[in-house]
Structure 1
Amino acid sequence: MNELLTPEERALEVKRLVNQLQAEGRTDLLLHAIGVPLLEELRIEAAKGRLSRLVITKDYRFILEDYQKEVELQPVHKAVYLLFLAHPEGIEFKRLFDYRDELLRYYMATGKMMDKEKVIESVDHLVNPLDNAINEKCSRIKKVFLDLMDVYTASYYIISSHTQKQFSGSDRIWYQRLKNITLPRELVIDYNR
């Protein structure tokens, strides 16, 4: 392809070549050319066009407005979700204790009628790095979203992993295993903020 073409012109050329391969019945070559990792990336990109606004009502109901569906979560799951929504940069599970007070505030707000001692106990389990409670809550949240939409669209709404390479002043390299929600925040309408 000509290097002088604009990205848009190159995209049109790729489309023309794709159509030729499809007409020849050679989707096998097409898949080989783009590769499975890129195919997955393209599916996720395509899902971006189907994202719904997530409305969080004053009484903490979670509504996928464009799908006209409610995301039915227990107060503890809503609290966890709100915490991760508030931190688009991501949070490491092993550092959840640093967010204990914030998580407690969310849980107290979403579970207004619950016993305060039980809420505190539950939050303490969630922020304990030796306890599996946070993984269980994230799995439940994931299941609820997967019941409402396809896996590629759900990937924007669930709490998922993001690994970030870190460098110190020396040759030492380590990885930050952040968990975050990749839903663009302009699609979140929270009436409690």
Structure 2
Amino acid sequence: MAREQQTAEEMALEVKRLTELLVAAGRKDLLLRAIGVPLVEELRIEAARGRLSRLLITADYRFILTDYNNIEVELQPVHKAVYLLFLRHPEGIEFKHLRDYRQELMELYAKTARWMDREKIGESVDKLVDPLDNAINEKCSRIKKVFLNLMDEYRASYYIISGHTQKHIGGRVWYERLKLITLPRELIIVEGK
């Protein structure tokens, strides 16, 4: 059958057959060379994506991974507020522009820490949005650690707040160093919405 007449499914079966032959011959090195390391990495990420859990955010701000036996992602209120802020902004946020999100972060923190003094919340948020303070990096590192304790790094990469760089060209080149959560939004369930 001519290649242009093969369907994608038929090509996949042919790749599978050839892969099995190379593996049986003990030539994984040739298979890796043929596929290429970057594609292997993409395939590992795609495989992880198929095993992602829905993230339920309850009315009392508990984070539950419903497809992983309802495991709770245990975060402090400040971490929950930061996480919720980045979930609300799938386009990403640059840390140096966090001050623009101060009020929103204040509101989220007040909701996740209802018993906490408003003044203390304000002090914490001021540290988070201060571009000269490392507080936001510390909070993101803690969130990452919690997810890495619950799952492998490829699945965790969808749940953590991670970097993404956009390059803009328009007379000059500049970069946006956005931070975002790449978890597909259809996997996020907010109780009461």
CA distance in 2 between counterparts of 1:102 and 1:85 reads 12
CA contact (8 A) 1:79 1:103 kept: yes
What's the TM-score, normalizing by structure 2?
0.95
Match of 1:20 in 2: 21
1:122-161 alignment runs, 5 A limit: 122-161=124-163
Match of 1:90 in 2: 92
Q: Deviations over 1:28-48 (max 9, x none)?
A: 111122222211111110011
- Residue 6 of structure 1, CA deviation: 2.7
SS at match of 1:163: strand
Match of 2:120 in 1: 118
Match of 1:31 in 2: 32
CA contact (8 A) 1:161 1:178 kept: yes
Percent identity (aligned): 72
Match of 1:165 in 2: 167
SS at match of 2:159: coil
Q: Deviations over 1:130-151 (max 9, x none)?
A: 1111010000000000000011
Match of 2:188 in 1: 188
Give the aligned CA root-mean-square deviation in angstroms. 1.3
CA distance in 2 between counterparts of 1:148 and 1:36 reads 27
Match of 2:110 in 1: 108
**Total equivalences in the alignment:** 191
SS at match of 1:108: helix
- Residue 192 of structure 1, CA deviation: 5.3
CA distance in 1 between counterparts of 2:103 and 2:10 reads 53
AA aligned to 1:51 is L
What's the TM-score, normalizing by structure 1?
0.95
Structure 1's unaligned 5+ residue stretches are none
CA distance in 2 between counterparts of 1:165 and 1:192 reads 38
CA contact (8 A) 1:62 1:71 kept: yes
- The answer as to 2:10 corresponding to 1:5 is no
Match of 2:178 in 1: 178
CA distance in 2 between counterparts of 1:3 and 1:124 reads 60
Match of 1:73 in 2: 75
CA distance in 2 between counterparts of 1:130 and 1:192 reads 37
SS at match of 1:37: helix
